[in-house]
């Protein structure tokens, strides 16, 4: 699962001081919309202190509706109010 870690480095080198570093890869994962039934994605973080970024990857033809998600400690469920069941990319970023 992609996530970021904040590094506090007291060295004066600007390339490594107080920067975000990539611990896994920040390439998005993919899934498909499943309307108001939702699509559950497992992340196993063990808490709900995270952000979810969702981007549709195909034209929904006006049928996507509103998009929202419901957080749980080890999963997140993505919903859409329309009938579109096409693909989306997502990234889940835990907070400190």
Residue range 47-74, pLDDT digits in tens: 999 999 999 999 999 999 999 999 999 9
Q: Which pLDDT does position 26 carry in this prediction?
A: 53
Q: Which domain holds residue 68?
A: 26-94
pTM above 0.75, yes or no: no
Considering the domain boundaries, does residue 43 fall inside one? yes
Task: Report the chain's mean pLDDT, rounded to a whole number.
Answer: 81
Q: Which pLDDT does position 78 carry in this prediction?
A: 98
For residue 4, the cross-strand partners are 22
Considering the domain boundaries, does residue 20 fall inside one? no
Query: Is the pLDDT reported for residue 7 higher than 60?
Result: no
State the total domains in the chain. Answer: 1
Considering the domain boundaries, does residue 21 fall inside one? no
Considering the domain boundaries, does residue 78 fall inside one? yes
């Amino acid at each position: 699962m992609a996530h970021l870690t904040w590094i506090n480095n007291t060295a004066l080198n600007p390339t490594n001081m107080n920067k975000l570093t990539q611990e896994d890869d920040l390439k998005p994962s993919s899934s498909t919309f499943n309307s108001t039934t939702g699509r559950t994605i497992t992340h196993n973080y063990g808490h709900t202190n995270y952000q979810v970024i969702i981007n549709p990857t195909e034209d929904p033809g006006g049928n996507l509706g509103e998009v929202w998600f419901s957080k749980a400690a080890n999963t997140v469920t993505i919903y859409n109010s329309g009938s579109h069941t096409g693909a989306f990319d997502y990234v889940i970023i835990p907070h400190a």
